[in-house]
Amino acid sequence: MAIVLASTSRYRADLLARLGVPFDTAAPGIDETPREGEDPAALARRLAREKAQAVSARDVGSVVIGSDQVAICEGRRLGKPGHRASALEQLQHQRGRTTTFFTAVCFVQGGEVLWEETVLTRVRWRDAAALTDAVLLRYIEIDQPLDCAGAAKSEALGMALIESIEGDDPTALIGLPLISCQTALTRLALSPLHQAA
């Protein structure tokens, strides 16, 4: 059975490749604007599902995986900064604080939801004494985290900015919760670990 990742994110594709399943990628092309009053977990769940369903509508026979991540720090939603000034401002805002990342994943086939889960990760950032503006600017220059919610790559040098991480799945913070994905692949008999050689 074909698997399609409803994403153009290289981070998500690299993560899914770790599970040893062949897959294609497709751009979901959905509107990701939050709805009025929509909480972060609900937003992540809805967007993951809508991404998967959008691609599934074009490819009804495949199992389509959608995922989305919403980051919140002190009530403020942090998206992908896009440029250096915004990345610096996001990192300054997070110094000494905790950011909660809601990472949702949804498996869909023929428009029907087969599996979905939302994983929470809490990141405690080092304080302003450790994360001076000069340190943050140097980090941005080296890691170029302009396409990452919260402006830090935990899988790279961004780990140096973090005091602690609390969560059940370390890959969720990068953008795709592999423990949840493996559970779904196993239940759907798509995991290479559960197929005859």
Q: Is 133 a known active-site residue? A: no
Cα(192)–Cα(157) distance, integer angstroms:
32
Residue 11 · residue 40 · CB < 8 Å: no
Catalytic residue among 24, 68, 133, 169: 68
- List the Cα angle 108/10/38 in 5-degree steps: 55
Which among 122, 113, 105, 114 has a CA at the least distance from the CA of 180?
105
Distances in whole angstroms, Cα of residue 197 to Cα of each of 5, 80, 191, 193, 194: 24, 42, 12, 9, 9
Report DSSP state, residue 192: G
Instruction: Catalogue the active-site residues.
Output: 68
